[in-house]
Chain A
């Protein structure tokens, strides 16, 4: 089996990315579920990188000529999905920041209000 440079490059990258995901799970910044999701993706990338012939059968089955084309199509779809997830996540985060800013401002105003009332009473 001939392994090309690009295959080695992809394999190394997938291993590197997978190890990052593992470290982040160990550091508890992603959950086991999320780690499984990334594991599936990087394992799939590894398998396809090592045995590119595999995609040939699959691409024929879904009606795409070359295996590598199928891989590219799937990657693009996956990227879109991930961008969408990031967008939703960002949106949620924006809402949370707004909530925080709101509560802070109301709390400050209430504290000031009671201080003013106390001052008036003392006078």
Chain B
């Protein structure tokens, strides 16, 4: 089976090489990095590390970058598509357990969850993520322990079915919505998120960004 790993990267020059070589060492060869208009050397670093690199000429946001990578993987004949973070938060060791349920054909998509085992996490991050879980439950009726984990594995069918129209961070909630709207079989798999100093600085914002995402989700609901 053709497994493609999609990594959206924006100014991740410091970590991208390590992430790609980790994946390569574990035997994953189809690595698609989408450089989302980075201002640093992400593009060349990723190329040198041996990934297929796509470049957005202007920054379009993480959701848009992931969709680009997914689209490219589909056109290149991927059977299974993994979304993986560029900042080294995700562990290559968790990949096997994430892929297995999709590979077996029992599930269309697996989503990583950092809350299925007990974890150490900064208080505000935990609070924000828990509120996000509530919001997702409220909006979409989706019961998940961790709605905003960027670590996902999709079957080809799931990747074709899920339509990401949100360019920015709300794509995470949108994917959850799509899973439920389109009745995809999903499973949460416990994963370990590495909170390094680097990933904390680069992390996906604090409460304010979370609030902005929420506001955009509501506006989107009204418009559509």
**Which residues of A approach B to under 8 Å, CB–CB?**
87-88, 91, 94-95, 97-98, 101-102, 104-106, 108-109, 113
Query: What are 29 A-B contacts with C-beta separation under 8 Å?
Result: A87-B223, A88-B223, A91-B223, A94-B167, A95-B165, A95-B167, A98-B167, A101-B56, A101-B58, A101-B60, A101-B64, A101-B68, A102-B64, A102-B67, A102-B68, A102-B71, A104-B57, A105-B34, A105-B54, A105-B68, A106-B54, A106-B68, A106-B71, A106-B72, A106-B75, A108-B54, A108-B55, A109-B53, A113-B52
Number of interface residues of B (CB under 8 A): 19
Contact between B52 and A105 (Cβ–Cβ < 8 Å)? no
CA A30 – CA B193 in complex, angstroms?
A: 52
Encode B207-224 as 1/0 by CB contact (under 8 A) with A.
000000000000100010
Bound together, the chains give a CA A104 to CA B223 distance in angstroms of 28
Chain A min CB distance to B39 (Å): 16
Task: A100 to B56: give the CA distance in the assembly, Å.
Answer: 9
**Complex alpha-carbon distance, A109 and B67, angstroms:** 15
**Chain A residues positioned under 8 Å from B60 (CB to CB):** 97-98, 101-102
Instruction: Report the separation of the CA atoms of residues A105 and B38 in the bound assembly, to the nearest whole angstrom.
Output: 14
Query: Smallest CB-CB separation from A101: which chain B residue?
Result: B56
Which residues in chain B, 11-59, are within 8 Å of chain A measured between CB atoms?
34, 52-58
Asked if residues A105 and B55 are in contact (CB atoms below 8 Å), the reply is yes
Q: A87-B223, A91-B223, A98-B167 are in contact. Are A105 and B75 (CB under 8 A)?
A: no
Q: Which residues of chain A come closer than 8 Å to B64, judged between CB atoms?
A: 98, 101-102
